[in-house]
Chains A and B, each alone.
Chain A
Amino acid sequence: MTNFSTFKDLLSYCQEHHVSIGEAALEYEVARGERSEADILLGARKILEQMRATIESGLYSDEPSMSGLSGGFSKKVMAFSESPQSFMSSLEHRMIAYALATLEENSRMRKIVACPTAGGSGVVPGVLIALTDEKQIPMPTLEKALLAAGMVGGIVSQRMHLSGAAAGCQAEVGVATGMSAAAIVEALGGTPQQALDAVAIALKNMMGLVCDPVAGLVEVPCVKRNAVAGIHASAAATIALAGIPSFIPLDEIIDAMVSVGQMMPPQLKESAEGGLAKTPTAVSFTERLYGEQPD
Chain B
Amino acid sequence: MSSSGSLFNIMGPIMIGPSSSHTAGAVRLALLARNIANQPIRKVQFILYNSFAKTYRGHGTDRGLLAGILGYSVEDNAIRDMFKNAEQTDLEYQFIPYDQPNPFPPNTVKFEITLANGDFLTVIGHSIGGGQVYVSRINEYSVALKGEYPTLVMFYHDQPGMIWQVTKIIAEEQINIASLNCTRKAKGTEAFMAICLDSLLPEPQVKAIREITEVYTVYNVDKIPL
Residues of A within 8 A of B40 (CB): none
Residues of B within 8 A of A117 (CB): 19-21, 129-130
B10 touches A109 (CB 8 A): no
C-beta contact mask, B1-28 vs A, less than 8 Å → 1, else 0? 1111111111111111111110110000
Query: Considering the chains assembled together, what is the distance between the CA atoms of A167 and B55 in angstroms?
Result: 17
A216 touches B6 (CB 8 A): no
A99 → chain B, closest Cβ, in Å?
A: 14
Choose among B12, B15, B21, B60 the residue that contacts A165 (Cβ–Cβ < 8 A): B21
Q: Which residue of A lies closest to B77 (CB)?
A: A111
B8 touches A218 (CB 8 A): no
Counting CB contacts under 8 A, is B225 at the interface?
no
Total residues of chain A contacting the partner, CB 8 A: 64
Query: Considering the chains assembled together, what is the distance between the CA atoms of A121 and B58 in angstroms?
Result: 17
Contacts of B45-91 to chain A: CB distance below 8 A: 50-51, 54-55, 57-60, 63, 75, 77, 79-80
Counting CB contacts under 8 A, is B151 at the interface?
no
Residues of A within 8 A of B106 (CB): 163, 165-166, 266, 269-271
Residues of B within 8 A of A213 (CB): 55, 58
Closest 6 CB pairs of A and B: A216-B55, A163-B129, A106-B17, A150-B7, A165-B106, A153-B10
Counting CB contacts under 8 A, is B218 at the interface?
no
B11 touches A158 (CB 8 A): no
Query: Considering the chains assembled together, what is the distance between the CA atoms of A47 and B4 in angstroms?
Result: 20
Query: Considering the chains assembled together, what is the distance between the CA atoms of A153 and B10 in angstroms?
Result: 6
Counting CB contacts under 8 A, is A194 at the interface?
no
Counting CB contacts under 8 A, is B150 at the interface?
no
Query: Considering the chains assembled together, what is the distance between the CA atoms of A290 and B8 in angstroms?
Result: 35
Choose among B11, B21, B63, B80 the residue that contacts A153 (Cβ–Cβ < 8 A): B11
Known: A151-B7, A270-B106. 6 other contacts (CB 8 A): A111-B14, A114-B14, A116-B130, A150-B7, A171-B129, A272-B54
A118 touches B15 (CB 8 A): yes
Counting CB contacts under 8 A, is B131 at the interface?
yes
Query: Considering the chains assembled together, what is the distance between the CA atoms of A44 and B5 in angstroms?
Result: 16
Counting CB contacts under 8 A, is A5 at the interface?
yes
B54 touches A109 (CB 8 A): no
Total residues of chain B contacting the partner, CB 8 A: 44
B136 → chain A, closest Cβ, in Å?
A: 15
A256 → chain B, closest Cβ, in Å?
A: 19
Q: A32-B4, A107-B18, A163-B107 are in contact. Are A216 and B54 (CB under 8 A)?
A: yes
Query: Considering the chains assembled together, what is the distance between the CA atoms of A3 and B1 in angstroms?
Result: 12
Q: Which residue of B lies closest to A147 (CB)?
A: B7
Counting CB contacts under 8 A, is B128 at the interface?
yes
Q: A166-B129, A273-B54 are in contact. Are A118 and B19 (CB under 8 A)?
A: yes
Residues of A within 8 A of B5 (CB): 154, 157
B16 touches A109 (CB 8 A): yes
A158 touches B17 (CB 8 A): no
B77 touches A165 (CB 8 A): no
Counting CB contacts under 8 A, is A92 at the interface?
no
C-beta contact mask, B99-135 vs A, less than 8 Å → 1, else 0? 0000000110000000000000000000111110000
Query: Considering the chains assembled together, what is the distance between the CA atoms of A146 and B12 in angstroms?
Result: 11
Query: Considering the chains assembled together, what is the distance between the CA atoms of A112 and B17 in angstroms?
Result: 7
Counting CB contacts under 8 A, is A16 at the interface?
no
Choose among A34, A114, A158 the residue that contacts B6 (Cβ–Cβ < 8 A): A34
User: Could you jot down 9 A-B contacts, CB within 8 Å?
Assistant: A109-B60, A111-B77, A154-B10, A165-B106, A179-B10, A215-B58, A216-B58, A269-B51, A271-B106
Q: A109-B80, A163-B128 are in contact. Are A218 and B59 (CB under 8 A)?
A: yes
A163 touches B11 (CB 8 A): no
